Amino acid sequence: MVRAMVVNADSPARPVSRARVRNLVSAALVTALMAASGWISIPLGTVPVTLQVFAVVLAALLLPSAWAAASLGVYLVLGTIGVPVFASGTAGLGVVLGPTGGYVLGFALAAPLASLARESLERTGAAQLVADAAAGVVAIAVIYALGWAQLAVVAHLSALQALLAGVAPFVVPDAIKAAAAITVATAVRRATSGR
């Protein structure tokens, strides 16, 4: 196994595994992808269509749960402190607490939970496609649950109105994004495993 040495003036050098470096780079790339994908936005009522669900599912498929949490946590912090990484280049606490803030919070929670689901299924010996598809379903369900709930409360909508405005129009596009993320994750795994 290839190991790099990390030198810190306050502590002795310690080896860093190749997997740790790969996870760090992948997490940073996912954070950047989340930020960039928010700029690709199609207004559709209160909730815009973005490519962010693709990035969240990809994070769940390629990163261990702790790294997925770190990656999306950094994205959430950046947006909350004012870096324009949310949908349509928005930012700030007002977005997080606003009608669509539940989706933003959902992204941060969905990636690690979906990654945990994938890891659990992989440990049971489930086929990779089954584990990936389950992770996609978990990610989308978490995003929808938080997004729908906050939309209903903040926008003063009934549960059905919030469902019709914030979930129903996105089911098919988000399923397509999840399928695309599975395809990309499969290609990345093949490329990095040398097969």
**Which domain CATH number covers 103?**
1.10.1760.20
Nearest to 177 by CA among 188, 187, 185: 185
Domain membership of residue 7 (yes or no) is: no
What is the helix (H) or strand (E) element at residue 15, kind and residue range?
A: strand 11-17
Q: What are the per-10-residue average pLDDT scores of the chain (195 residues)?
A: 49 73 92 92 78 96 96 97 94 96 97 98 96 98 98 97 94 96 95 75
Question: Pairing between strand 3-8 and 11-17?
Answer: antiparallel
Domain membership of residue 6 (yes or no) is: no
Q: What is the pLDDT of residue 2?
A: 44
Q: What is the pLDDT of residue 192?
A: 84
Domain membership of residue 33 (yes or no) is: no
> For the chain, how many structural domains are there in total?
1
Domain membership of residue 195 (yes or no) is: no
Q: What is the pLDDT of residue 18?
A: 86
Rounded to an integer, what distance in angstroms lies between the CA atom of residue 80 and that of residue 58? 22
Rounded to an integer, what distance in angstroms lies between the CA atom of residue 180 and that of residue 149? 27
Q: What 3-state DSSP class applies to 46?
A: coil
Question: What's the whole-model pTM score?
Answer: 0.88
User: What phi, psi does 158 have (nearest 5°)?
Assistant: -70, 165
Domain membership of residue 77 (yes or no) is: yes
Domain membership of residue 168 (yes or no) is: yes
Q: What is the pLDDT of residue 48?
A: 78
Domain assignment of residue 96, given as a range = 48-184
Distances (CA, A) of 53 to 107, 136, 194: 8, 9, 28
